[in-house]
Amino acid sequence: MRLLDSIRTAFTLPDLRRRILFTIGIMVIYRLTANIPVPGVDLNAWFTFTNSGAQGGLLGVLDMLSRGAVSNFSVMAMGVYPYITASIIIQLITPIIPYLRELQEEGEQGRNRITKITYYFTVPLAIAQAVGQIRLIGFSFAGTAGGDVLSQILPQFGFSSAANILPTLTTLLAMVGGTMFAIWLGELITENGIGQGISLIIFSGIASQIPQNLLGLFTTTETDNTARIFSLAAFIIITLVTVFVIVMVQEGERRIPVQYSRQMRGRKMYQGQRSHLPLKVNTAGMIPIIFAQALLTFPPLLASFFVPTGLAVENEGGLVGFARSVSEGFNAGSDPALNGIAFSLYWIMTFLFVAGFTFFYTDVMIKQQRLAQNLQQRGGFVPGIRPGKKTSEYITAVVRRITFVGAIFLATISVLPGIMQFLGWALNIPGLGQSAFVINGAGLIIVVGVVLDTMRQIEAQLIMRNYESTITG
């Protein structure tokens, strides 16, 4: 009821209503743009292959990450993931490169410069991912249809002929432009709407795929009513339990007591106050999962460059065979019965990446907040802990201890689809693995996290406006 009351109150305020409607409008524009095909693609050939059931494996995962844009061969096929990957790399090298480290310490102006550098770095990453993704499409369908199907889907793609250079550049430019347009839409939401723009762009894609994924669950189990019942029950239980745990962990915090010393103002002495410093169990939110998903798409994309288009042959060589295994099996949609090693390696790497990025991103966030320095400047201290370096070390130790719980939580949620796939294969229940893909754990964390963050921003706007109305009478 509180949620509905906040939304109803928000729509009664003209400025806040405009922000909410602006956010919804931008997300609608993004979803409409996701249906615009890439220039040069033969849609008849494309839909012939996708409707024949050839789509799957990593291609299906890329479609999930792009939230349906790959299945339409859209200009938004890469989503915002090149930008996320660029952000990861910039954050990793910032402590190493003195120029970036100085920019980070310059405050808002320095952070704006780092953001511009991230945009510039996104473009070459997007070009590389566009080429890899197109090659992967040809490889994915060649495994089932045989022959060079890429020449049928994109008849003028490639640099082998001078006549194809301009159409190829047009295709790549359209895909890179789609990514940059999606990033720009996200920035518009952040500046003029409600919520964090890039997260809301990803959220809109996840929400739009839920009906289609649910229909796919029923289609997968249409010949087996028992499997359908088990799969549907698994979907409901997983969703409810996961949402409950996500909310509990996302809202969980450790409160460190803080004492403020007495202050003299004018001729009056004010008694020191007691407060607390709230530290979130999951400070990083859903960012580590987004980071991990973005990075884990690169090994199969890079491996696809070393795989010749067509079916596998017996004497194709160890390197080509290894690259083919990575391209085919190192993804969330691979079959554990056919690619057991690559399947296991993918989910192990997912667990480790998510856990590692949780610690990394939390450390970055805590260092940027400079909690110990801010407390000392305001006359605050943690009882029993010396101000300054000792307080900083104490806060860091507490954060890392509670982050361990958050990291294990995020990593476990992220590998839940893999666990369900393995159980479905072991128990021979066809739709059990699909039940975790209707809206997977990573998607649920993003959805719940975005909803909670957006509602906090709406409530903050409401509190601020009520405060202003109280002052002005």
Q: Which pTM was predicted?
A: 0.73
Q: How far apart are CA 6 and CA 390, in angstroms?
A: 42
Q: How far apart are CA 362 and CA 368, in angstroms?
A: 10
**Backbone torsions φ then ψ of 259, nearest 5 degrees:** -115, 130
Domain boundaries for CATH 1.10.3370.10 within the chain: 19-220, 224-473
**Token pair belonging to 21:** 């409607």
State the fold for domain 19-220: Preprotein translocase SecY subunit (1.10.3370)
Taking only the tens place, the pLDDT of each residue in 400-437 is: 888 888 888 888 888 888 887 788 777 777 666 666 66
Q: How far apart are CA 412 and CA 435, in angstroms?
A: 16
Taking only the tens place, the pLDDT of each residue in 325-359 is: 777 667 776 767 777 777 788 888 889 988 888 88
CATH 1.10.3370.10 fits 224-473, yes or no: yes
Q: Kindly give the confidence (pLDDT) of every residue in the chain, 473 residues in length, as a single tens digit, with 9 standing for 90 and above.
A: 566 666 777 777 788 888 889 999 998 898 888 888 888 888 787 777 666 544 444 555 556 555 556 667 788 888 888 888 888 788 778 878 888 888 877 777 888 888 889 999 999 989 988 887 787 676 655 554 445 667 777 888 877 778 888 888 998 999 999 999 999 999 999 888 888 888 888 888 777 777 777 777 777 666 667 777 777 787 788 888 888 888 888 778 888 888 776 665 556 655 557 777 788 888 777 778 777 876 777 777 677 667 655 444 455 556 666 777 777 667 776 767 777 777 788 888 889 988 888 888 888 777 767 777 777 777 777 777 777 778 788 888 888 888 888 888 888 888 888 887 788 777 777 666 666 666 766 677 778 878 877 888 888 777 776 644 433 44
Looking at this protein, which amino acid is placed at residue 178?
G
Cβ-contact 144, 193 below 8 angstroms: no
Number of CB atoms found within 10 A of residue 28's CB: 11
Integer angstrom CA distances of residue 398 from 106, 260, 288, 333: 28, 20, 20, 38
Kind and range of the H or E element at 255?
strand 253-260
HEC assignment per residue over 143-174: HHHCCCCHHHHCCCCCCCCHHHHHHHHHHHHH
